């Protein structure tokens, strides 16, 4: 009898201890949740023309728009001035053919009319390369931490990176797109060769890359989302101290559709 009573007491004590421990765990987890980094809207934007306000037929400081997959437009809602529009619902073959002409100096205003695309649309840019948007080269300093954000609206999912280089490489249209370069060289008329998907299809001239998680966004109003990391800055020179420049790469892809981009910002990370 006595043994059974002790067992009961031990059990009870165990339950009490466990409950206390779980309470402690819950509290500890809550305490361990990092505060979200507070952005300073007045911090200097290191991205040249990150709000896209400067430019004629294409925004300064960015890859040439092509008038078929990328467009330099006035915000239809009249709130954001100039913005970029992207259409990933374009046949890959049509995109490549037009990109060849763009890379040889054709103007976006002379772009062909978009051809009809049909379900399941695996032959569109959305289903293959995505549509890449590259900024020009931005100098970064050794050991410094940076904060990278942009605003985005649209159906296609988007991925974005800071890509680090030891020196300035070509900013020619599509210079980094492997399959496109092959296409350009061989002037083939068949279906472009696919060398890997999305980032894996880029030519490996970079030394470092840091991704902005495509799930990490906050509501920016009017259907726009503000993409950002919760709290972790980018350090382009870690682990490679010889990285001297970054480029911003924004890549809307699947599902096929229109997307809008504005306010791409890279600022120095302010320690709190």
Query: Where do contacts with Ca ion occur on this chain (CB under 5 A)?
Result: 51-52, 80-81, 262
How far apart (Å, rounded) are the C-alpha atoms in residues 101 and 64?
Answer: 12
The minimum distance between CB 58 and Ca ion, in angstroms, equals 14
Which residue's CB is nearer to Ca ion, number 61 or number 236? 61
Give least dist CB 162 to Ca ion, A.
Answer: 20
d(CA 256, CA 148): 26
In angstroms, what is the minimal distance from the CB of 50 to Ca ion? Answer: 9
Q: What is the DSSP letter of 192?
A: P
Closest separation in Å from C-beta 65 to Ca ion: 14
Residue 80 or 228: the one with the smaller Cβ distance to Ca ion is 80
- Give the shortest CB-18-to-Ca ion separation in angstroms: 55
Residues 6+ apart with CB under 8 A from 265: 45, 47, 50, 147, 148, 149, 150
Q: With beta carbons less than 8 A apart as the criterion, state whether 154 and 252 touch.
A: yes
Q: Which DSSP symbol is given to 199?
A: G
Residue placing its CB nearer to Ca ion in the complex, 76 or 81: 81
* Closer of 183 and 224 to Ca ion (Cβ): 224
Which lies closer to Ca ion via its Cβ, residue 51 or residue 169?
51
Task: Choose between 210 and 252: whose C-beta lies nearer to Ca ion.
Answer: 252
CA geometry: angle 34, 36, 38, nearest 5 deg: 140
Q: How far is the CB of 161 from Ca ion (least distance, A)?
A: 21
Q: Rounded to 5 degrees, what angle do the CA atoms 211, 55, 105 make?
A: 85
* DSSP code at position 67: S
| Between 75 and 97, CB nearer to Ca ion | 75
Cβ atoms of residues 52 and 81 within 8 Å = yes
CB of 151 to Ca ion, least distance (A): 9
Name beta bridge partners: 211.
161
Measured distance CA(77)–CA(219) in Å, rounded = 17
Partners of 246 in the beta sheet? 138, 164
């Amino acid at each position: 009898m006595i043994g059974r009573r002790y067992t009961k007491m031990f059990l009870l004590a165990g339950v009490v201890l466990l409950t206390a421990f779980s309470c402690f765990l819950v509290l500890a987890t809550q305490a361990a949740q990092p505060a979200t980094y507070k952005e300073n809207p007045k911090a200097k934007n290191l991205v040249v023309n990150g709000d896209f306000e400067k430019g004629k037929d294409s925004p300064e400081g960015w890859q040439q728009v092509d008038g078929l997959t990328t467009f330099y437009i006035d915000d239809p809602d009249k709130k954001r001035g100039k913005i970029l529009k992207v259409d990933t619902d374009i046949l890959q073959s049509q995109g490549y053919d037009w990109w060849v002409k763009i890379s040889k100096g054709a103007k976006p205003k002379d772009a062909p009319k978009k051809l009809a695309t049909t379900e399941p649309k695996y032959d569109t840019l959305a289903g293959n390369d995505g549509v890449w948007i590259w900024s020009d080269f931005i100098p970064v300093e050794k050991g410094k931490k940076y904060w990278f954000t942009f605003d985005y609206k649209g159906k296609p999912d988007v991925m974005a990176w800071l890509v680090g280089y030891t020196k300035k490489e070509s900013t020619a249209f599509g210079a980094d797109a492997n399959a496109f370069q092959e296409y350009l060289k061989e002037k083939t008329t068949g279906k472009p060769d696919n060398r890997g998907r999305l980032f894996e299809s880029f030519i490996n001239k970079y030394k470092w890359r840091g991704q902005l998680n495509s799930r990490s966004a906050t509501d920016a109003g009017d259907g726009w989302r503000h993409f950002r990391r919760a709290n972790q800055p980018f350090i382009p020179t870690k682990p490679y101290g010889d990285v001297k420049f970054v480029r911003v790469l924004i890549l809307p892809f699947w599902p096929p559709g229109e997307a809008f981009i504005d306010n791409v910002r890279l600022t120095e990370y302010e320690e709190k």
